[in-house]
């Protein structure tokens, strides 16, 4: 008998137009909290996506402070600055509104508000002891699944990334509104969509933590993402496709939060940390060589994933389809297209080989020489 534990966000809303009803939807999760600290990025603020939600919150009598300085691959210093701003405001609840970076930042800021624990001691798995105020997450991209994960990743030092994985990072509520993803450009739709597909694939093949619940979620996520990706890229106003993408990303997030990602993400991190390549694009570029490397030991699982999306049940069919999708939606497929050369490979490979959080999840053991070979395959 297989033993496992599964956790997720307790309250999830999927509703077109939910952003406009934010104040009413979040009230049960906020309790007595009246001072709300909202984290987002400047682009979303300029695009007006926050206008209606903020107006509704203020009309409902909430005091709202917006921090819109979150950037991609959020640096540690920015996270600490945001936490101080939240404390100065007297925040009683935190809302993360945006893609993975605003949501990850919101999670960590919520943990830091109390001052019970410093950030440095939180890195790693189950190291969080601090309490936090109510936390609500509202995704505007269909990729990271951060709204339902217990993981947050930020940039430390000059280039390296570190993660926090702990149950208190599960939000109290996640609100999924496909209309908020309508304005996401084609390139962002493609990269974040393939990122979500990677989450499903890696959750399904985790050699340490996969379980029947994560497997079911990963398969359903991959099916929805596969049928929605090309349509959403072709027509950004296709709300059925946008809904499939957003729901698929969330389901994949639930899966990998309980059955964490592996080699693809480990190899993607240096691209983001060193060269500031967007996370979704990083995953997409390194995915094919990692799938080929894993295939000898993950053939059965890759075949099941391929069959779930209507392909011939084989690893080669899955790999070919992921490469076809990347080409179809116009994603860069070579490191050289991202400004990365042969000279950069040893440094990146060293970072990957030292990643003892993710590599043990990969279905096949990855050594330094294997990592170098995979990077060189896609130069």
Domain boundary among 139, 159, 180: 180
Write the CATH number for 165: 3.40.50.1970
Instruction: Say if residue 228 is in the same domain as residue 343.
Output: yes
Instruction: Say if residue 206 is in the same domain as residue 162.
Output: no
Q: Is residue 197 part of a domain?
A: yes
Instruction: Say if residue 206 is in the same domain as residue 273.
Output: yes
Domain boundary among 180, 195, 215: 180
Q: Is residue 6 part of a domain?
A: no
Q: Is residue 7 part of a domain?
A: no
Residue with tokens 């999306």: 309
Instruction: Say if residue 21 is in the same domain as residue 68.
Output: yes
Instruction: Say if residue 254 is in the same domain as residue 314.
Output: yes
Instruction: Say if residue 248 is in the same domain as residue 146.
Output: no
Q: Is residue 3 part of a domain?
A: no
Q: Is residue 102 part of a domain?
A: yes
Domain boundary among 180, 215, 232: 180
Write the CATH number for 284: 1.20.1090.10
Q: Is residue 4 part of a domain?
A: no
Convert the pLDDT of each residue in 272-314 to its tens digit. Answer: 888 989 888 999 999 999 999 999 999 999 999 999 999 999 9
Instruction: Say if residue 295 is in the same domain as residue 196.
Output: yes
Instruction: Say if residue 137 is in the same domain as residue 268.
Output: no
Instruction: Tell me the whole-structure pTM to 2 decimals.
Output: 0.95
Query: What average pLDDT does range 94-122 have in this prediction?
Result: 97
Q: Is residue 137 part of a domain?
A: yes
User: What is the C-alpha separation between 171 and 13, in angstroms, rounded?
Assistant: 13
Half-sphere exposure of 71 toward its Cβ, with a 13 Å CA cutoff?
A: 11
Instruction: Say if residue 67 is in the same domain as residue 198.
Output: no
Instruction: Say if residue 190 is in the same domain as residue 165.
Output: no
Q: What's the structural domain count of the chain?
A: 2
Domain that holds residue 123: 12-180
Q: Determine the pLDDT at residue 162.
A: 86
Instruction: Say if residue 194 is in the same domain as residue 268.
Output: yes
Convert the pLDDT of each residue in 27-83 to its tens digit. Answer: 999 999 999 999 999 999 999 999 999 999 999 999 999 999 999 889 999 999 999
Does pLDDT of 374 surpass 90? yes
- φ, ψ for residue 165 (rounded to 5)? -130, 110
Helices (H) and strands (E) in the chain, counts: 13, 9
- Per-chain mean pLDDT for the chain: 95
Convert the pLDDT of each residue in 195-219 to its tens digit. Answer: 999 999 999 999 999 999 999 999 9
State the DSSP string of 97-166. Answer: EESHHHHHHHHHHHHHTT-SS-GGGG-EES--------EEEEESSSS--GGG-SEEEEEETTTEEEEEE-
Instruction: Say if residue 190 is in the same domain as residue 147.
Output: no
Q: Is residue 283 part of a domain?
A: yes
């Amino acid at each position: 008998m297989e033993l496992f534990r599964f956790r997720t966000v307790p309250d999830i809303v999927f509703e077109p137009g939910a952003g406009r009803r934010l104040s009413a939807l979040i009230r049960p999760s906020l309790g007595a909290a009246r001072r709300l600290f909202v984290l987002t990025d400047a682009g979303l603020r300029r695009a007006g996506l926050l206008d209606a939600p903020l107006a509704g919150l203020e009309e409902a009598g909430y005091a709202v402070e917006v921090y819109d300085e979150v950037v991609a691959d959020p640096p540690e210093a920015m996270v600490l600055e945001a936490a101080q701003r939240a404390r100065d405001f007297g925040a009683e609840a935190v809302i993360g509104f945006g893609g993975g970076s605003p949501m990850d930042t919101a999670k960590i800021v919520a943990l830091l508000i109390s001052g019970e624990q410093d950030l440095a001691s939180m890195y790693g798995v189950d190291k969080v002891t601090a309490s936090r105020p109510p936390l609500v997450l509202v995704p505007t991209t269909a990729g990271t699944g951060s709204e339902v994960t217990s993981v947050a990743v930020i940039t430390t030092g000059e280039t390296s990334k570190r993660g926090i994985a702990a149950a208190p990072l599960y939000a109290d509520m996640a609100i999924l509104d496909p209309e908020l993803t309508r304005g996401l450009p084609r390139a962002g739709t493609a990269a974040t969509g393939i990122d979500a597909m990677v989450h499903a694939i890696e959750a399904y093949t985790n050699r340490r933590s996969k379980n029947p619940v994560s497997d079911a979620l990963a398969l359903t996520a991959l099916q929805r993402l596969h049928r929605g990706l090309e349509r959403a890229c072709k027509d950004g106003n296709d709300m059925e496709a946008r809904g499939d993408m957003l729901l698929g990303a969330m389901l994949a997030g639930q899966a990998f939060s309980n059955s964490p990602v592996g080699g693809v993400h480990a190899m993607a991190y240096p691209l983001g940390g060193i060269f500031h390549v967007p996370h979704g694009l990083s995953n997409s570029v390194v995915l094919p060589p990692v799938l080929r490397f894993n295939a000898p030991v993950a053939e059965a699982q890759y075949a099941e994933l391929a069959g779930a999306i209507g392909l011939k049940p084989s690893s080669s069919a899955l790999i070919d389809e992921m490469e076809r999708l990347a080409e179809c939606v116009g994603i860069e497929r070579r490191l050289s297209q991202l400004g990365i050369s042969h000279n950069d490979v040893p440094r990146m490979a060293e970072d990957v080989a030292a990643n003892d959080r993710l590599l043990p999840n990969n279905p096949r053991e990855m050594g330094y020489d294997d990592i170098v070979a995979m990077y060189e395959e896609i130069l």
